[in-house]
Amino acid sequence: MVKTKKAQFREASNPEDMPAAMLDWYDRHARTLPWRVSPEDRARGVVPDPYRVWLSEVMLQQTTVATVKAYFERFTARWPRVTDLAAEPQEEVLKEWAGLGYYARARNLHKCAQTVAADHGGAFPDTETALLELPGIGAYTAAAIASIAFDRRATVLDGNVERVMARLFAIKDPLPQSKKQLYAAADTLTPDLRPGDYAQAVMDLGATVCTPRKPACGICPLMPMCAGRQAGIAETLPRKTPKKAKPTRYGIAWVATREDGAVLLNRRPQTGLLGGMMEVPGSDWIEGIVPADTAGAPLDGPWDDAGEARHTFTHFHLILSVRRGRFAMNAEPERGKWVHRKAALAEALPTVMKKALKAGGVG
């Protein structure tokens, strides 16, 4: 007869037992992350650095842990304290950020560092309310910093926690409408004891056990109380209202090279999409209409057709018609500046601009 192995961890049969079961599980299974203080160290009295917690949380918005790790190491090696980051020109921060996408985050990150340095003496405030006042910090990030960095009771609700709550309580209403319900569920479970470790425990459970597909219920400490599992619908939760199809915008990118190989680049305005980043000079991006070739080339042609560069942003697809032109040494562009080819390729350009350069034969 095959003996069923008794679970080697504490399990929760009801909501009252859930926080203790989660903390017990976390003490054994916490992920090792460069910005995290392990539960053993935390128990020994090591306190997390709010700067590192904040930086990781901002980077992790819309980006995976695997991608963030290298960026986090680079940022903290170059700027070990929030005051170091604040003292740096925004351009340098954007350069280090290149490739992480969602560049408004980088601009807000820099603004936030400057506010903490100037208005808070270089120390992050330690309450959710005060954290919410800082640039780029929304409800989730404020709760995460308050709980993880300062061990304050705060209800942290990211995608992982939403999934765990939807399944535990079999919440069938779809996201985003069910957010309040999910928040209320998460709030009732959040303990006063070790709230920082608890928040990270639920996030880790969602990332490693209660995964979007094929949750590993057999090794989950919450299985006895999981209504979604009992109803056989766990994997279908959380339900989501179908997203509207993304519109497509069209634009032109002019890849201009000079006789000596220099490439014409331009800095985008500070505000708006890819604000403050370098770009291949281009037209406006218009929904549903391909702009006319006369829509503002930086130099008088001739321009050759060099195909397309396609990219997808959060809210739209972009199709750029790429034009290629070669110019004499005395060519004076209407906007932008000539950048040595090597420097242009080393420039921290947004991915869409790298694609345009490549289509234009630079890359």
Burial class (CB in 10 A: 0-12, 13-18, 19+), 75: buried
Instruction: Measure the CA–CA gap between 311 and 249, rounded to whole angstroms.
Output: 10
Binding of ligand SF4 by 21 (CB under 6 A)? no
Binding of ligand SF4 by 100 (CB under 6 A)? no
| Minimum gap (Å) between residue 7 Cβ and ligand SF4 | 12
Using the rule CB under 6 A, which residue among 48, 50, 228, 276 binds ligand SF4? Answer: 228
Closer to ligand SF4 at the Cβ: 212 or 247? 212
Strands (E), 247-361: 248-258, 263-267, 278-279, 286-287, 304-312, 317-327, 337-339
Instruction: Measure the CA–CA gap between 347 and 339, rounded to whole angstroms.
Output: 9
Instruction: Measure the CA–CA gap between 147 and 128, rounded to whole angstroms.
Output: 9
Closer to ligand SF4 at the Cβ: 206 or 276? 206
Point out which span in 2-10, 89-97, 185-193, 216-224 binds ligand SF4 (CB under 6 A).
216-224
Q: Pick the catalytic residue from 11, 16, 40, 57.
A: 57
| Minimum gap (Å) between residue 200 Cβ and ligand SF4 | 16
Binding of ligand SF4 by 229 (CB under 6 A)? yes
In this structure, which amino acid lies at residue 123? A
Binding of ligand SF4 by 238 (CB under 6 A)? no
Binding of ligand SF4 by 234 (CB under 6 A)? yes
The residue with tokens 């005060």 is 130
| Minimum gap (Å) between residue 180 Cβ and ligand SF4 | 20
Closer to ligand SF4 at the Cβ: 227 or 290? 227
* Residues facing residue 251 across a β-bridge: 320
| Minimum gap (Å) between residue 174 Cβ and ligand SF4 | 17
Using the rule CB under 6 A, which residue among 53, 149, 185, 223 binds ligand SF4? Answer: 223
For the chain, count helices (H), then strands (E). 15, 7
| Minimum gap (Å) between residue 201 Cβ and ligand SF4 | 12
- CA 166, distance to chain mean position in Å, is 23
Instruction: Measure the CA–CA gap between 153 and 190, rounded to whole angstroms.
Output: 7
Give whole-number Cα distances, 347 to 1, 84, 94, 154, 261, in Å: 66, 22, 11, 41, 15
Binding of ligand SF4 by 210 (CB under 6 A)? yes
- CA 306, distance to chain mean position in Å, is 33
Binding of ligand SF4 by 220 (CB under 6 A)? yes
Binding of ligand SF4 by 215 (CB under 6 A)? yes
Please say if 308 is a catalytic residue: no
Give whole-number Cα distances, 245 to 50, 53, 106, 174, 312, in Å: 39, 35, 27, 18, 12
| Minimum gap (Å) between residue 322 Cβ and ligand SF4 | 47
Going residue by residue from 157 to 176, which x/- string records binding to ligand SF4, judged by CB under 6 A?
A: -------x--xx--------
Q: Residue numbers of the site for ligand SF4 (CB under 6 A)?
A: 164, 167-168, 209-210, 215, 217, 220, 222-223, 226, 228-229, 234
Which residues are annotated as catalytic?
Answer: 57
